Structure formats: C-alpha cells, structure tokens
A and B are shown apart, each in its own frame.
Chain A
Amino acid sequence: MERNHMKLEFLSKSKNESFSRIVVAAFAAQLDPTIEELSDIKTAISEAVTNAIIHGYEYGDGIIRIEATIEGNVIEIIVEDFGKGILNLEKAMEPFYTSKPDLERSGMGFTVMETFMDDLKVETNESHGTRIIMTKRIENLPNKER
C-alpha cells in the first residue's frame, strides 16, 4: 500500500478515549485488517491513551498527540503526552506493576500493548512526557476470515 499518514491532537479527557481509538481504527481499516486485528489495535491505543490521561496528566488536562503511518502492510502508531514522564521504565513495564492500585488499575497496560501489537518502544523523559511507538503488520492472506 502507498504510504499514508495521519495526526490527531486532543485534550486528555476520558471522554476522548473512545473517539481516539475509533479514529485510528478507521485509518487502519485501509489495510483491510480482520476484526481481531482491528480489535487488537483499538485495545493497544486505548491502553496508551488511558495511561497518558491517568498517569501522564494526573493533575490536569494536557494535549495527547497520536500519529499513525501506513507503509506497505505495516501500521506504526505513536501516542505521545507531554506530562510527567515515567521515572522507572523497567519497573513500569513489568506485568502487574501499577503506581495506582488505589484507582483499581491492574498494571496490565504495557503487557496488553506488547501482546496485541508486533513491536512496542517507549521513550520517556522526566517532566517532559512519554512517547509510545507501536507497530503491527496486517497479514494479507488471500482467504483470511473476516
């Protein structure tokens, strides 16, 4: 597929979680993904956006930026906040680690992103913010189930 690109910026309000994952899913639909592949992408976006809202901007609203690029049969999605950053990234990425157990978080967000996407990279800077870079290859099998 010919290279394509999109960018979306919105305020870190929880109402925007569903809006943002629907936008990215609609963009990803160009690659003709299965329902399962689309559901994986939506879930990974939702994890990254929710993290930006509840952890990155825990004390107020900020801007969340999503960029997505399609190249060949691969989609790369970047979810970025300009909030507090992650102090201990290694610990943060461990399954079941959460800094907010009181908010009924389970510490599964990064594990979900890793499992549902093909590749996950995290760039973070204390008090500058966090960038989540995820890619997924959409298999183009001739008779795939839809």
Chain B
Amino acid sequence: MNLSMETRENILVVKLKGELDHHSAESTRKKIDKAIIEKGSKNIILDLKELSFMDSSGIGLIMGRYKNISQKDGKLFVISGNQYVDRILKMSGLLKIIEAYPEMDTALKNI
C-alpha cells in the first residue's frame, strides 16, 4: 500500500495505491487522520483509482473518515472508476451518501 497526500487550499487530497485491506487500513487511517489535524483540512478527497484490491476494511476506512469530516461540516469525495473497487463501493451503499467522481478535476470543482 502506497499513500501520497497533498493539500490544496483546505482540501486534503489522498491518493491510495496498491491493496487496501485490514492490515494496510490501520496505518493508512493513522496517516490520514494525522494529516487532517496537522494541515487543518476541512475537506478530503480520496483517490481510489490506483487501488488493485479493496475489501470491507476499505469501506470502514472511508466511512470513518466521512463521519469525522462531516461532523465538522466538511465534505468527503471519492475518485473512483476502477473495476476492483466499484463493485464493493456500490454494494456497501456508500455511494448513496458519498459523492464519487471519475476525475480529480470535477471533484475539485464540486467540493
């Protein structure tokens, strides 16, 4: 699992690459939460495009970040459009509460 983060104004953009399972979710969660505090980010975009695997631990990770950020009136978007991720995202019902975009540009415009 490879994680890269950048800040654009008040948005934390997180790119996830590789396999997101229970093992990698724990360290990923810590890194994201630390960055949110350090940068004082209001909103967050999770880019899932480069993931080659995701199970329900990924759903838990997204859901947890969504809860935290929306408690502070922030927004969480995901970038998707990837065969390994889309099916489980749909199944989990997450797409009914979280906005998903196929491209970063449109997500940044809409946040």
Contacts and interface: CB of A to CB of B under 8 A. Distances in A.
Interface of A: 14-15, 17-18, 35-36, 39, 42-43, 46-47, 50, 53-54, 103-106, 108-109, 111-112, 115
Contacts of B23: 14-15, 17-18
23 contacts: A14-B23, A18-B23, A18-B53, A36-B83, A39-B53, A39-B83, A42-B53, A43-B55, A46-B22, A46-B53, A47-B55, A47-B56, A50-B57, A104-B29, A104-B61, A104-B63, A104-B64, A105-B60, A106-B63, A108-B91, A112-B55, A112-B91, A115-B91
Contacts of A112: 55-56, 88, 91
Given A36-B83, A39-B84, A109 B56 contact: yes
Contacts of A15: 23
A104 B53 contact: no
Chain B interface residue number, banded: 20 to 34
A33 to B, nearest CB: 14
A110 to B, nearest CB: 9
Interface string B84-111: 1000100110000000000000000000
A112 B64 CA distance: 19
Contact of B21 (A36, A50, A115): A50
Give the interface SS of chain B, mostly helix, strand, loop or mixed: helix
A30 B22 CA distance: 27
Nearest to B53: A42
Contacts of A105: 56, 60
A104 B64 CA distance: 6
A39 B91 CA distance: 15
The 9 closest A-B pairs by CB, nearest first: A14-B23, A104-B60, A104-B64, A108-B56, A46-B55, A50-B22, A106-B59, A106-B60, A17-B21
A26 to B, nearest CB: 14
A15 B21 CA distance: 10
B68 to A, nearest CB: 10
